Structure formats: structure tokens, C-alpha cells
Amino acid sequence: MTDDTTNTDDEPRTDGGGTGIVAPDDETPTWRERKERTEGLSRLTYEYFERARSEDESLRRESDYVERDVLAFPTWPHETVRNLALTSFFVGMIIFLSATLPPHIGNPANPNSTPAIILPDWYLYWSFGLLKLGPLNPELAILGGQKLMADRTYGVLTNGVVVGAIAIVPFINKGSARRPVEQPFWAAVGMFGVTLAFTLSMLSVKNLMPMNVDLLFDLTFLVPPIVAAITYAVLKTMREGYMYDLNRRYYRLRPPK
């Protein structure tokens, strides 16, 4: 019986035995396969997902990551209780603040009397400070010393510049460095930004600052680069020792082959 079958598969007989249907070889697609191949985009998507998943799995299999042999902290009660404790602590902080430092309400709105000091909330001070950059608005010689745009427009547009500068950071700075010490330059840029936000906030309340306004204006743009330079220098110095420690720890765990 077994012999017979092998025989049939190897060479189709001409004596009318069997059904006469020649089984397709491996290369010939079955009708089902042909149908599936013509199903187009959905089929492609499906195949891609299959591939991507198997790729993921083989990556995981090859990686030297250690799978845990026990389940981690159980969600209930350990993790939940811990989260609830943290949550109550934070909410408690908010309630404590609101009980001890209640808000103030000023005089009712009066369109006829402009108050001496107009300020937004503290978190908008930096933006408010940008409105006071009038002296930096360039006067163009070709316009006969006129300004291209009003000081106010200039101030509003600088907001866009600031937001744009923050937005493009991840497209410029790539790689896997996480610590400020690994990239002193970018940490310095960050400190520049933070300090600039702070000095701009100071500039926005210049009426209240016990300081010469011109000096304040100059300091607004002098302090950030200085802070950035100090950050850079400090981190650059720290980097040597820090990276040495880190590498030693790393190589002890994974000695180079």
C-alpha cells in the first residue's frame, strides 16, 4: 500500500488508475493561495503584521533580557495601596495649600481706571516678558530707521519662536543619552532656556523689581548664557568621573567579549 502511494506520487500512471487529477507541486499555487494573493491591500497589511509580530518575537527570543521567574508586585493590594497612598498625599498637599493660602479677589472690573500693575498668573510671566522686548525690535536702515513691525507684534511673534525652538529639539538631538552628564551641551541649552524663562519673568514685573530697568533688561539676556556656560563647564568636568563609574559598573555586569 505504501509502495503504491509513493509510486503514484512519483510518476502519474497512464493506466487510468487514480482520479487522474495531478497534484500540484510545491511551486504551483493552489486556488486558495491565488485567491489570497489577489486580495490586495488587506492581505498585505495582514502579512506585514504577521511578519512584524514574528520579528518582535524572534528579537525577544534572541535578546539577553532576563524574563522574570515570578510575577512582579501584585496590582492588588500592593500596587493599588501604594498608589492610593501617593494620591492621597498629593491631594492632601493641594488641600493644605488651599487651606493655608486662600486666594484673593481684587476690586471689581472697572474699564475706566487702569490699575498701576497689570499681571497675568505667574506661569505666563515669561510670555508677558516677551512683550517687553521692544528695544530688541530691529530698526531697518532701508526703511529709514523704521521698525518692520510694531513692538507688540514683535513680542507676540517671539512666543512662536520660543515654542518652535522647544518643538524641534527631539528632531535635532537624537541618540540614547539620558543623563545631563552624557550631553553637557544639551543640558546647557536646557539651563539656558530655564534661566531665560526666569529672567524674562523678572523683566515682565520690572515695575516691581528694585533695580534699574536698563540693567534688568541687559541682565535678562546676559544671565542665561552665563548660566549655560557654567552648566557646560561643570558637567564637562563631572563627565569624566561619572562615565568612568558608570562604565565600570556596566562592564562588571557585562564584560566585553
Residue 65 makes contact with another protein by CB under 8 A: yes
Give the DSSP letter of residue 147.
E
Instruction: Give the integer Cα–Cα distance in Å for 131 and 154.
Output: 8
Half-sphere exposure of residue 67: CA atoms within 13 angstroms, side-chain side: 5
94 vs 142, beta carbon nearer another protein: 94
Q: Which three cell numbers stand for residue 182?
A: 552624557
CA torsion angle 114 135 194 233 (round to 10):
-150
SS3 for 140? strand
Residue 58 makes contact with another protein by CB under 8 A: no
CB of residue 38 vs another protein: minimum separation in angstroms?
31
Binding mask 139-168 for another protein (x = CB under 8 A): ----------xx-xx-xxx-----x--xx-
Q: Which of 81, 84, 85, 91 is in the footprint of another protein by CB under 8 A?
A: 91
Residue 169 makes contact with another protein by CB under 8 A: yes
Comparing CA positions, the residue from 229, 173, 187, 252 lying closest to residue 244 is 252
Comparing CA positions, the residue from 62, 64, 36 lying closest to residue 50 is 36
Binding mask 177-206 for another protein (x = CB under 8 A): xxxx-xx--xx--x---x------------
CB of residue 173 vs another protein: minimum separation in angstroms?
7
Phi and psi torsions of 139, nearest 5°: -100, 125
Name the one range near another protein by CB under 8 A: 17-25, 42-50, 59-67, 218-226.
Answer: 59-67
- Ranges within 94-123 binding another protein (CB under 8 A): 94-95, 97-99, 101-103, 105-111, 113-115, 118-123
Residue 82 makes contact with another protein by CB under 8 A: no
Q: Which of 80, 87, 212, 247 is in the footprint of another protein by CB under 8 A?
A: 87
7 vs 75, beta carbon nearer another protein: 75
Q: For the chain, how big is the Rg over CA atoms in Å?
A: 35
CB of residue 167 vs another protein: minimum separation in angstroms?
6
CB of residue 83 vs another protein: minimum separation in angstroms?
9
| Terminal CA-CA length for the chain | 58
Q: H or E element: which one contains 146?
A: strand 146-147
Instruction: Give the integer Cα–Cα distance in Å for 156 and 158.
Output: 6
23 vs 93, beta carbon nearer another protein: 93
Q: How many residues bind another protein, per CB under 8 A?
A: 74
